[in-house]
Amino acid sequence: MKKVITYGTFDLFHHGHLNLLKRAKALGDYLVVGVTTESFDINRGKLNVQQPLMERVRQVKGTGLADEIIPEEYEGQKIDDIQKYGIDVFAIGSDWEGTFDYLKDYCEVVYISRTEGVSSTSIREQGQLLSFGIIGRGKMASMFVDESKFVSGVYIKQVCDPGEDLKVTGKMMEEVSAVYILSEPDKRGRYVKMALEKGCHVMCESPVSLRREETKELYRYAEEKGLVLFETLKTAYFKGFSRLVLLVKGGAVGSVKSIDATCTSMKPSNSWFYGSHGGGSMTDWGPFVFLPVLKIFGTGFEKCSFTSYMDKENQTDLFTQVTMLYPEGIASVRAGCGVKSEGSLVVSGTKAYIYVPAPWWKTEYFEIRYEDPNQNRRYFYKIEGEGIRYEIAEFLKLVRTGGTNFAMEEHISETISALMEEYLYERKNNSWI
């Protein structure tokens, strides 16, 4: 019996897929089809696949052409499969011409001519292209433009300077379906409101506003209007970070008693803060260092105290330490701007601890460490580009299908605003300034 294998995502099954499967089947007597899993696709940079794995499998099954369907989960799996299933022919569309020649050491390799004029990408884009307007300039705005190219279904229509006349910004909002706001934090709330009023879905840098009540109201308003309000904070959308949180919640380190997180940079990354609120470590890094604490311990802290070392001349806080007391443990987070330190994250529990080396906020690698080092485990998660593409893909998914933003839930978003509000109040009124 001649066995053939082929692989694909098979998202939004179309006639190009059907032709491919028919031709592959005709090359032998038995067809194995590998359908890629979500995490494999994300790892190879294929974002915003719309259908879950089982739905895509069902569609392939529905053709009646596959004798066996398997998931494709990891790089290098093809060689394993060819050996495991005793494959004679590896078949794939001609868009991959040459890429899989290395499999010729294991079986025959056939490139099947691709059906012209159809692809999952083009179907995803048809009639549901999300046009974006950006409010903000500089490095982050251009990074957003570059990263958006990796998410099919999105295009950037216009970029507005936050200093621009509100009429110009308002006009832009009327012409797009979504806006990305990265203006000064004290102005974000106003832009978010305006965008929602004009019927736009909103992606907004963290914090959404510097007042808890305002953030709360904005979420309520978005809900009322049936629009998505989405707070961006890269770490929250990285697979490594969400896996870390899930492992901790699943008891991997026992009961968590302490969380230590540090983020520092030599230069302010958000120079906008050198406006009405003064800038520095907390305004640059606050949302980042709070994130693991709020995700793991929750938002029910009993006490929170800030201590900053101020550079009085420049009115910036060079280094801030925040201690948060919870019924079940303590968190101690540090932020520096113009001070360099080890930017690691340690989550300590009653069984083990998790160590994430600098820069922890990228969470590409972490270890669970036990008293007995033989039990230690290591985890790796690759991030493509600047990572903004993951946020855009998640946003697009919420706009299209609705649901909850589990990476950055409303109560976390509100608490980040509340903590920043508290910090700025202390900074203005207390003696440690």
CB of 304 to ligand CTP, least distance (A): 46
Candidate residues 92, 293, 335, 412; the one interacting with ligand CTP per rule CB under 6 A = 92
Q: Which residue carries 């948060």 as its tokens?
A: 324
The 10 Å Cβ neighbour count of residue 30 is: 17
| CA dist., res. 63 & res. 85, Å (int) | 21
Amino acid in position 44:
R
Question: Within 133-152, which residues bind ligand CTP (CB under 6 A)?
Answer: none
| CA dist., res. 74 & res. 189, Å (int) | 43
- Can residue 93 be called a binding residue for ligand CTP (CB under 6 A)? yes
- Can residue 16 be called a binding residue for ligand CTP (CB under 6 A)? yes
Question: Which lies closer to ligand CTP via its Cβ, residue 9 or residue 37?
Answer: 9
Taking CB under 6 A as the binding criterion, the range among 10-18, 134-142, 258-266, 418-426 that sits at the site for ligand CTP is 10-18
Spell out the residues 6+ positions from residue 278 whose beta carbon is closer than 8 angstroms to its own.
315, 316, 317, 427
Name the residue number minimizing CB distance to ligand CTP.
93
Candidate residues 3, 4, 5, 8; the one interacting with ligand CTP per rule CB under 6 A = 8
Size of the site for ligand CTP (CB under 6 A): 16
Candidate residues 59, 120, 265, 348; the one interacting with ligand CTP per rule CB under 6 A = 120
Question: Which lies closer to ligand CTP via its Cβ, residue 95 or residue 342?
Answer: 95
Question: Which lies closer to ligand CTP via its Cβ, residue 17 or residue 216?
Answer: 17
CB of 114 to ligand CTP, least distance (A): 4
- Can residue 18 be called a binding residue for ligand CTP (CB under 6 A)? no
Taking CB under 6 A as the binding criterion, the range among 15-23, 100-108, 222-230, 235-243 that sits at the site for ligand CTP is 15-23
CB of 97 to ligand CTP, least distance (A): 10
Taking CB under 6 A as the binding criterion, the range among 4-12, 135-143, 339-347, 374-382 that sits at the site for ligand CTP is 4-12
Question: Which lies closer to ligand CTP via its Cβ, residue 34 or residue 185?
Answer: 34
Candidate residues 4, 20, 65, 412; the one interacting with ligand CTP per rule CB under 6 A = 20
Question: Which lies closer to ligand CTP via its Cβ, residue 16 or residue 133?
Answer: 16
Would you say 246 and 406 are in contact if contact means Cβ atoms under 8 Å apart?
Answer: no
Amino acid in position 276:
S
| CA dist., res. 80 & res. 14, Å (int) | 28
Rounded to the nearest 5°, which phi and psi values hold at 185?
Answer: -55, -35
Spell out the residues 6+ positions from residue 6 whose beta carbon is closer than 8 angstroms to its own.
20, 21, 24, 31, 32, 33, 34, 90, 91, 92
DSSP H or E stretch at residue 257: strand 256-265
Question: Which lies closer to ligand CTP via its Cβ, residue 34 or residue 359?
Answer: 34
Candidate residues 10, 144, 285, 326; the one interacting with ligand CTP per rule CB under 6 A = 10
- Can residue 90 be called a binding residue for ligand CTP (CB under 6 A)? no
- Can residue 17 be called a binding residue for ligand CTP (CB under 6 A)? yes
Question: Within 24-63, which residues bind ligand CTP (CB under 6 A)?
Answer: none
Would you say 195 and 230 are in contact if contact means Cβ atoms under 8 Å apart?
Answer: no
Taking CB under 6 A as the binding criterion, the range among 87-95, 140-148, 227-235, 391-399 that sits at the site for ligand CTP is 87-95
Q: What angle do CA 329, 261, 342 make, to 5 degrees?
A: 140
First to last CA, the chain: 79
DSSP assigned state of 278: -
Distances (CA, A) of 178 to 123, 187, 285, 303: 20, 18, 26, 38
DSSP result, 196-247: HHTT-EEEEESSS-SSHHHHHHHHHHHHHHT--EEEE-GGGG-HHHHHHHHH
Pairing mode, strands 30-36 and 68-72: parallel
Which residues of the shown chain bind ligand CTP in the complex (CB under 6 A)? 8-11, 16-17, 20, 92-93, 95, 114-115, 118-121
